[in-house]
Amino acid sequence: MNMEFFKKHWLKILLVIASITVVFVGAMLILNTENQTRNEEKSKQDISSESPDLDEPPLKLKSIGIDFEDFKFTKAKLQFGRLFMGYGFYIPAGNDNPAKYNPQPTFVVPLGTPVRAIVDGVVADMPTLWSGDISVRITENGKLEKWSYETEHLINPKVKVGDRVSAGQILGEVSDFNHGAPAGFGTVEIGIGIGGNPPHHICPFAYLDDSIKDETFTKMNALFRSWEEYIGDTTLYDESALIPGCLTLDLIEG
């Protein structure tokens, strides 16, 4: 009876078996593809956690460290002819120091100018620098891990390690160390540092909080234009730059 049934319906039986096989193979292929995709995504995440150029800092800047109104024009000689040196500004070799690209935007402002926190966070470190002044490093949680937000060359600090600070809060005053600033002026630098050996920096102006971005870029370009008119040299800044203050978006070691 079974043999008779098989003889009559053998073609249908083979078709059913073939259909089941196709469905099974297809399901296995889909499962393998999903597993491969998950593995690829995990690999990307693992790489992102190790490579500084594949992710973004956890905090956005809500201040650039000083108020634009604190820039005071002067006819006194400036080391680089500017009060504002952007990220990636080329610094030629001198005084036994090799040429380099500036890893931290640099501002020349009058002595006594308040220096302000650039993000909301916790003071993680306040090391004394080679210049005898200090750096205030702020992180998201007060621990020195991957990302840190730096304001360098301060004197008369108003905060201490462990303090929670808000962007715009006064951290200290601009340093009076000799960095090519004329008499009565000092220099301060800001940066976003990426831990490692060696450490690197990224352009902080690429990570402005939306609450200050448009206003900051407008004021920055206005400062650039006004300074060029004051000096009589319209080639000092590029007011058409996509991100003002960033001469490059590459990582800079330092």
The domain spanning residue 89 has which CATH number? 2.70.70.10
Do 77 and 178 lie in one domain? The reply is yes
Q: Which domain holds residue 25?
A: 1-50
User: How many distinct structural domains can be found in the chain?
Assistant: 2
User: What is the rounded distance in angstroms from the CA atom of residue 63 to the CA atom of residue 216?
Assistant: 9
Position 92 pLDDT exceeds 50: yes
Q: Copy the structure tokens of residue 220.
A: 């920055």
Q: Tell which residue, 206, 238, 246, has the closest CA to residue 221.
A: 238
Q: Tell which residue, 245, 194, 196, has the closest CA to residue 219.
A: 245
Between 86 and 239, the more confident residue is 86
pTM given for the model: 0.77
Q: Tell which residue, 185, 179, 188, has the closest CA to residue 134.
A: 188
Q: Copy the structure tokens of residue 30.
A: 């889909």
User: DSSP letters of 41-62?
Assistant: HHHHHHHHHH-TTSS--SS-BS
Position 90 pLDDT exceeds 70: yes
Within-domain flag for 63:
no
Do 185 and 81 lie in one domain? The reply is yes
pLDDT-derived band at 105, boundaries 50, 70, 90:
very high
**What pLDDT is stored for residue 254 in this prediction?**
81
Do 46 and 80 lie in one domain? The reply is no
Q: Copy the structure tokens of residue 84.
A: 């504002």
Do 180 and 73 lie in one domain? The reply is yes
